[in-house]
Structure 1
Amino acid sequence: MRYPTAISQLLGFRITAVGAGTAAVEVGVDAAGRHGNQQGTVHGGFITELADAAIGTAHSTLMAPGESFTSIDLRATFLRPVWRGTLTAHARPSHSGRTITHYVCDVVREDGKAVATVTSTVLTLRGDRATGR
C-alpha cells in the first residue's frame, strides 16, 4: 500500500483504521473556507473523493505482489448537508470475487449521522495487466 498518496496529502486525508479489505479515512472540512459549493455546503465531489480514497485504501490491503487495481464504477448517494467538522469514510466489501470486488462506503459526520453512501466496483489486475500501475 502506497500511503499517503499525492491526492490524499493535497486534500488532507488521514487513515484512521485499516484491516483486510476495510479502511476508514477522515478529513476536517469547512464549507466557508475551503470545501464549499455554490449552496455553501461541502462539495459532493469532495465527499465522493474521500469515499474513493477509503475504498482504494481498503482494496490495496488485499493486493498480492505483482497485482494492482482500478475502479470501474463509483456511485454516490447524498443524504444530508455538511458545513464544517470532521468527516469519516468507512469502506468495506459487500461482495468479494477473484477479480471483481464491490464496496460500500458510508461517510459520516462527527455526530454519527450519515452524509453519503458511496458504492464502487473495483477490478483486480494481475500479470501484464498490472504492469506499470
Structure 2
Amino acid sequence: MKRFEIRDFLRVANGEIEPPPCDTMMNIRVTAASEGESTGTWTVNDSFINGNGVVMGGFLSSAADIMMAYAIASKLEDHQGFASINLDTTFHRPVTEGVVTVHARVDRLGKRVAYVIAELYQHDKKAATCQSSIFIT
C-alpha cells in the first residue's frame, strides 16, 4: 500500500477512496473528519472478544488510535505527517459484540506535538477514554 498523504485521510472520511488496511482489519468506518474532530463506528465481532467474553483492551486502544489519526490529519497540511508518542487508555466498562461509536478531537495543537482525546461509546455509555501525544513531522 502506498503511503497516505494528509488529504487522503479526509478523502477516506468523505467516502472518496478506500481506507487503509488497518481500518478494514479493525472493522472501523470513519464517518466524519474536519476541524480537528473525527467520528467513526467500529463494528465489534467475535474476533475481538477474549476468553472472558469482552473485547481485549488493546483493540479499544487501536480503535481510538485510528480515529485520532483522522482528527489530527484534519488539522495538518500535506507536507506534514504524524506519529504517536504515547497512548493512555482508561476503561470505564466492558465492551461486547456490536457497534462502538468513536469520537476523537485535537485538544491542543503545537508546532511539534499535538494532544488528542478519544472517547468510545457502546449502548450510549462511555466505555473508554484515550489520550495521546502525537509528534508532528
- Normalising to structure 1: TM-score of the pair? 0.86
2:104 maps to 1:87: no
Gaps of 5+ in 1: 126-133
2:136 maps to 1:124: yes
User: Cα offset for 1:75?
Assistant: 0.6
Alignment deviations for residues 37-70 of structure 1 (CA, whole Å, 9 cap, x no partner): 1211011111111000000111111221211111
Q: 1:1-133 maps to which residues of 2 (within 5 A)? A: 1-2=8-9, 3=12, 4-30=19-45, 33-109=46-122, 111-125=123-137
Contact 1:25 1:50 in 2 (8 A): no
Q: May I ask how many residue pairs the two structures share in their alignment?
A: 122
Gaps of 5+ in 2: 1-7, 13-18
- Normalising to structure 2: TM-score of the pair? 0.83
Alignment deviations for residues 80-106 of structure 1 (CA, whole Å, 9 cap, x no partner): 012221001100122221221101100
Distance 1:123 1:59 in 2: 10
Identity %: 28
